[in-house]
Structure 1
Amino acid sequence: MNITINRVLCILGLFLSFGSLAANKLEGVRIWAAPESTRVVFDLTAKPSYTQSTLVAPDRLVVDLDDSQTKLALDKIANNSKLVKRIRLSKPPKKGVLRLVIDLNRPVNANLFSLPPTEPYGNRLVVDLEEKGKETRTIAAPSESARDIIVAIDAGHGGDDPGSIGPSGLYEKKVAFEIAKRVQAKLDATPGMKAVLTRTGDYYIHPNKRSELARKHRADLLVSIHADAFTSPEPRGASVWVLSMRRANTEIGRWLEQKEKHSELLGGAGEIIQNADNEQYLAMTLLDMSMDRSMAISHSIAGDVLKELGKVTPLHKNLPESASLAALKSPDIPSILVETGFISNPKEESQLKNATHQDKLARAIHSGVLRYFEANAPADSLLAKRSGSSKHKVSRGESLSVIAAQYGISITALRQANNLKSDTLRIGQQLVIPKG
């Protein structure tokens, strides 16, 4: 009898042990703060099953993790967020549930999703918090006086997204940010040029937000900086990418469906179009013209940057490549993506972490961008004013109408300034741009 009871107790003990092993464990919490948003990451031993709810007075986000437990001291978590006051445990609604409460400093929009293991992280529950109302902010109208040419520098990845990881453990996000800051410094030191960073620290920005930030700053160009990687260590060299025509057309289609964005993308004309359903063809024409112009500029700048990079590092591709890349999804803003080298190649990884090599890469990017804008300065820019009249090098896909629209002048004025007998242009042809 005693033997039977002991066996039953042993079996029950095994079941209890298996049950405790099956429970998900919260092993870490990381808070990544951006200026107007915050990402909270819960590191778990298994895929989470969760529910969420929002409470007010005071503002809180409640996350219930099923079949979970933790031994973390949540009050010890590093927190530099303006949105998150603290993260704490609370009494669960039922046994086995781990209730986490994110106390907030102000109302937020919350987006929760789980991520599978990806080096260097395991299973994660991600909580993206964005302050309510920030998305409606607008930028003041530009000044009538001569302006700086604005270049948005986008350091790839960041925060919980390390990007590719080199053989020695170097993170792509760190390399990209260091080079981005160097490019910013060189552009800011150039009269008539100004750089803005899409991220100013180690935090994550959704790819959709990166081009939106560039647009809000009225950027003339978006340069996204990355480091390439491959499954084997052999590939090496830098490359420059532009938006593919297929991706550009997809984005144009999305814009046409979102009438509230027409004004933002087309200026004053958008106010008329968004209230007239029968004039959608006009919106399509204007957006197509904007896309043609920005893509032609992107190709030209990509070529100039690639030439400069070839002077300081091997090239993986000798000509600009096009692809459907998340960072390049804004056909209204000329955009390029610079792969500064292969972080998966041990030799190039060593170079990419070297400050001197980073500065050479930054100088090459700066020189390529400057070369283009010195030859093709926007008519209202300080660079154009200094030279009296600006010049424009004809790129693939450009026409007289596209170039005239870019500089805000008439086709007739452009013809007269260049003594053109016809509207036919050749790639590489230099045009004088008269004052508007």
Structure 2
Amino acid sequence: MIKTASILQCLLCLMTLCSSFFVHSANQLGGVRIWAAPESTRVVFDLSEAPNFTHFLLTNPYRLVVDLKSTSTPINLAKLTNNSKLIKRVRISQPPSKGTLRLVIDLTKPVKSSLFSLSPTAPYGNRLVVDLDGSGSQQMIKINQPKTELRDVIVAIDAGHGGDDPGSIGPSGIYEKQVVLQIAKKVEAKINATPGMKAVMTRSGDYFVNLNKRSEIARNSKADLLISIHADAFTSPQPRGASVWVLSMKRANSEIGRWLEHKEKHSELLGGAGEIIQNTDNEQYLAMTLLDMSMDRSMAISHNIAGDVLSNLGTVTKLHKYKPESASFAVLKSPDIPSILVETGFISNYKEERLLSQRDHQNNIASAVYKGVLKYFESNPPVGSLMANKGSFKHHVRSGESLSVIANKYHISIASIKRANGLKSNILKIGQKLVIPKA
């Protein structure tokens, strides 16, 4: 009887110890992903449960310390893929208490940090997101650069989704984020090859940019237009065709539109809407600025450009709708910047998914978007822009440029350049200023 009691006591002690161990290690860190942007980095910690965490920054050397309570991990952080200019490495350090997992992010310089947790959203589970911003004063330097007398027309190009947010996934597994970035880069190249126009990308690689930040990038670049490029999806595989969207002050005017509005909210969760979650004043600010009269002007311009882009798209691909549609997308809500959203086709449709992955079709889509934008700005050039200048303008000769290259770029003859500049030979010097007469 005594032996039985003794055995029971041992079992109870063992169960208590096991219970204590599981309490201390209830959460599991199963993966770490680093998404590097040019001036910022996002680190995502994948967890089995919602994280209970604290954090603090240290200097000399610079590092961010994150303590995850009741957490353990089997992963080897030394093998972590890291392409960030802000992060030296991510490592495990001595914990302050039993059962706490202390993670240290060694930094290359001072950064601003923002941490928030996200609940499961397919295809991901619980996550702790760490946003690091290393832009500092560098961004102010860019903004304060002196203006030129005649400026380019600036077009901000936004490739939807990115990083943790794959967007829609096609029947064969193609990600929307990949397709739209490829098309966006083709639009960028066409705009940059046009005299008097310049493209600015909201993202140039596979990383997520918060929706508010996309408009901010366009605004800081003094963009005349923001184009957001996406690929549609729907609950059934039948719908096909491209469409162009403008901002609606009310609910979307179609079933597809309501589905897309829902999908955008889903994207915020996937990418981590840190700025939106933490800054509750954003909605109040937006509500106030939408009352500004500039919104009426921006929406009118957006609708005109959307019509030009849509008519060009109709020459290279099937259209889902023959008129611009309206929906309430966050990326379109800049009151001071005309904005359109181009859905290049339905990636949920097997035939269109295959088309959207083909280089020739991507180039045709990009050309159609570019031609629509060019047509509008040639007819309505902004005041003070090169496109609005009816006379001549200056070109600075760069390395590798010849008269024939410059003449071809501006669609004028070599003779007209020589005549305008009094040149007796075809020899040019790097840095030489040439007067470019109007074509």
Please indicate, yes or no, whether the TM-score normalized by the shorter chain is above 0.5: yes
Q: Does 1:20 align with 2:56?
A: no
TM superposition shift of 1:120: 2.7
Find the aligned partners of 1:199 and 1:217 in 2 and give their Cα distance.
13
Find the aligned partners of 2:371 and 2:15 in 1 and give their Cα distance.
68
Which residue does the alignment assign to 2:32? 29
TM-score (normalizing by structure 1): 0.75
Which residue does the alignment assign to 1:125? 128
Q: Does 1:113 align with 2:144?
A: no
The one-letter amino acid paired with 1:27 is: G
Change (3 A) 1:17 1:348: farther
TM superposition shift of 1:303: 0.6
Find the aligned partners of 1:293 and 1:100 in 2 and give their Cα distance.
50
Which residue does the alignment assign to 1:364? 368
Find the aligned partners of 1:168 and 1:5 in 2 and give their Cα distance.
62
Find the aligned partners of 1:142 and 1:363 in 2 and give their Cα distance.
30
Which residue does the alignment assign to 1:151? 155
Structure 1 unpaired stretches of 5+: 259-283, 389-436
Which residue does the alignment assign to 1:419? none
Which residue does the alignment assign to 1:142? 147
Change (3 A) 1:386 1:12: farther
The one-letter amino acid paired with 2:285 is: R
Which residue does the alignment assign to 2:87? 84
Structure 1 stretches of 4+ with a deviation exceeding 3 A read 1-22, 132-137, 250-253, 255-258
Q: Does 1:93 align with 2:100?
A: no
The one-letter amino acid paired with 2:231 is: A
Contact 1:63–1:101 (CA under 8 A) maintained in structure 2: yes
Partner SS for 2:182? helix
Contact 1:229–1:342 (CA under 8 A) maintained in structure 2: yes
- Range moving further from structure 2, 306-315 or 13-22: 13-22
Find the aligned partners of 1:309 and 1:66 in 2 and give their Cα distance.
53
Change (3 A) 1:334 1:141: farther
TM superposition shift of 1:299: 0.5
For 1:286-325, what aligned pairs fall within 5 Å after superposition? 287-288=292-293, 290-325=294-329
Identity of aligned residues (%): 61
Partner SS for 1:112? strand
Q: RMSD across aligned C-alpha pairs, in angstroms?
A: 2.7
Change (3 A) 1:44 1:219: same
TM superposition shift of 1:210: 1.0
TM superposition shift of 1:183: 0.6
Find the aligned partners of 2:209 and 2:358 in 1 and give their Cα distance.
26
Which residue does the alignment assign to 1:416? none
For 1:211-360, what aligned pairs fall within 5 Å after superposition? 211-245=215-249, 254=285, 287-288=292-293, 290-360=294-364
TM superposition shift of 1:16: 5.6
The one-letter amino acid paired with 1:170 is: I
Structure 2 unpaired stretches of 5+: 252-280, 393-439
Per-residue deviation, residues 308-335 of structure 1 (Å, max 9, x unmatched): 1122222222211222212112121111
TM superposition shift of 1:17: 5.5
Find the aligned partners of 2:236 and 2:230 in 1 and give their Cα distance.
18
Q: Does 1:61 align with 2:64?
A: yes
Q: Does 1:381 align with 2:412?
A: no
Give the number of aligned pairs.
Answer: 358
TM superposition shift of 1:26: 0.9
The one-letter amino acid paired with 1:335 is: S
The one-letter amino acid paired with 1:100 is: L
Per-residue deviation, residues 260-279 of structure 1 (Å, max 9, x unmatched): xxxxxxxxxxxxxxxxxxxx
Change (3 A) 1:2 1:361: farther
Partner SS for 2:330? coil
